[in-house]
Amino acid sequence: MRQTALPAALVILLGLATAQAIASVHIHLSNLALYEKMDAFRNAGYLIVPNAHVLPRLLEWKSALFGGLFFTLSTGAFLTLLSIAAAWLLHRAQARKKALLIPLLTVWFAFLVVVNIRGLSLMPTLYLLLIPIPVFLAASRWLFPGPPKKLSSGPLLHALPPLFLALLWAGQMSGSFFVDVRDYLLLSHKAGTKVSDFYYRYTLYPAETLKPLDQKLLRAVYLGHIENKPVSQALQRELIKFDYLPVDNENMAELVLRERNNELDLEQGGATILRTTLRQFLPSPAPWLAAFSKETDRQSFFRKVTFVSLLIGLPMLIYLLLYGIFFSLLSLVRPSAKSSVPATLLCLVAGIALFLLFFLSRAAIHDDKDINRALQSGDWRTRVAALKFIHGKGLEAADYPAYKALMASPFIPEKYWLAHTLGASRHPDTFKDLLSLLDDTHPTVVSAAFQDLGKRKNPAAMRPILARITTSTDWYNQWNAYRALRALGWKQSPSP
């Protein structure tokens, strides 16, 4: 078994290393384009996100390398494991190898077609080309050489535990699953908190490469082809309301407007995407901009692949890593041939134990009569459950004065949910408490406070948010602060 374990590890590392190389280049190119756009906005006097403190990081390979881990551990892991599975299938079907090869190649080719169906998407294409081919060839040569052996019950025994764990965890995949994993499995201890901080620090870099135009925070528009100055000014005023900011470089623009014979063309990359008239566009640009974003979105399928990969590829990679650790440790004290099954069983036990920890950690409050008692509980999980109940039921936080004691809590999930609870309140005192959370020492809490200040719709929050958005060194906080400003009615205007 040890003779198979090392080649298997090398094949997986080959796939992940290839994915990391592609992802790093992918994100670095995206970062350079974002830097150029933000620099143009800054020179024009607009408020930019990321701000001047974060902007230099876009030029660093460190940001691309760490951000690239997101694609490596999701899409890269998924494609690597799929390629190994394809090699195994062909190995098992020696007699009908050619017959099976055709549908596998057809599926692979279909993926390539769908990814590029709206125009060439170079980087997603590279993932699909450069990961499966070398991994498949390496797996065929190193893992499955020679004729296949008789299929025994061993592979089935190894396949059942991950399948069982997948079904077990699938039952918890509610809308709050990822937040609950963060709160109860990561933010409950220092090591997990560092993992969470790393994720939020670097996740916006890969996210920027995946977003359609209407989900980007700031967009560049070129109006140089609009010769009528009053019309150009009217378009600029309307587009700024939707965070489309004018730039002087047409090649940088994500939207180019061109007026021809009383018609208005919405262009990108020299191609006309939509055609309308000024009379139709100016009174209500929103539907046209939404349609333009949809028509120019080349990442839709790749986003779905990435999301599926995150749900399947990453958990399977963690399982295999854990199996490798258990197998290596057991092989030190017993023959490797007898270590495989115990290693699999240990993985099963670890997965069930983690599930029980996650399930039992999620305390719940079912009656509003229990809230005051729960807010004063000695268990932070129970206090979080009370805050979630107040927030979920739309109750007034000021009716439960015990929340005041939680303002100084050392537990990040507690203050995170306290911010959400105060954001749904309308009492003046709770507004002051929510503002004070902007100075919390943890960025997750600060981001939640920004989000919920936007939800309160109190214009008095604009000044403190603006004061912090320009001095913050955390891109994720700036992103939430900007969205809060827009929710409060603030809009961009170039400074003189």
pLDDT in tens, 335-388: 776 788 888 899 999 999 988 888 777 777 777 778 988 999 999 999 999 999
Tell me the whole-structure pTM to 2 decimals: 0.92
For residues 403-418, average pLDDT: 95
Residue 171 is predicted with a pLDDT of 72
Hey, which bits of 219-366 come out as E strands? 219-225, 244-246, 255-260, 263-268, 271-277
Task: Supply the mean pLDDT for the chain.
Answer: 91
pLDDT in tens, 4-55: 677 889 999 999 999 999 999 999 999 999 999 999 999 999 999 999 999 9
Residue 55 is predicted with a pLDDT of 97
pLDDT of 179 above 90: no
Give the separation between CA 292 and CA 205, rounded to whole angstroms: 23
Inter-axis angle of helices 412-423 and 428-436, to 10 degrees? Answer: 140
* Nearest-10 Cα torsion for 367, 369, 372, 374: -40
Architecture of domain 213-295: 2-Layer Sandwich (3.30)
For residues 465-470, average pLDDT: 96
What size, in residues, is the chain? 496
DSSP 92-143: HTSTTHHHHHHHHHHHHHHHHHHHTTTS--HHHHHHHHHTHHHHHHHIIIII
In order of 170, 181, 411, 433, the CA distances from 440 in angstroms are 35, 22, 12, 11
Range 368-487 has CATH code 1.10.600.10: no
Residue 192 is predicted with a pLDDT of 92
Residue 359 is predicted with a pLDDT of 77
* Nearest-10 Cα torsion for 73, 74, 77, 79: -150
Indicate the domain borders of the chain.
2-145+155-208+301-356, 213-295, 368-487
Of all residues in the chain, what percent carry a pLDDT higher than 90? 72
- Going by pLDDT thresholds of 50, 70 and 90, the confidence category of residue 1 is very low
Count the alpha carbons within 13 Å of 202 in the hemisphere toward its beta carbon: 21
pLDDT of 245 above 60: yes
Residue 362 is predicted with a pLDDT of 74
pLDDT in tens, 419-447: 999 999 999 989 999 999 999 999 999 99
Q: Does 479 or 332 have the greater pLDDT score?
A: 479
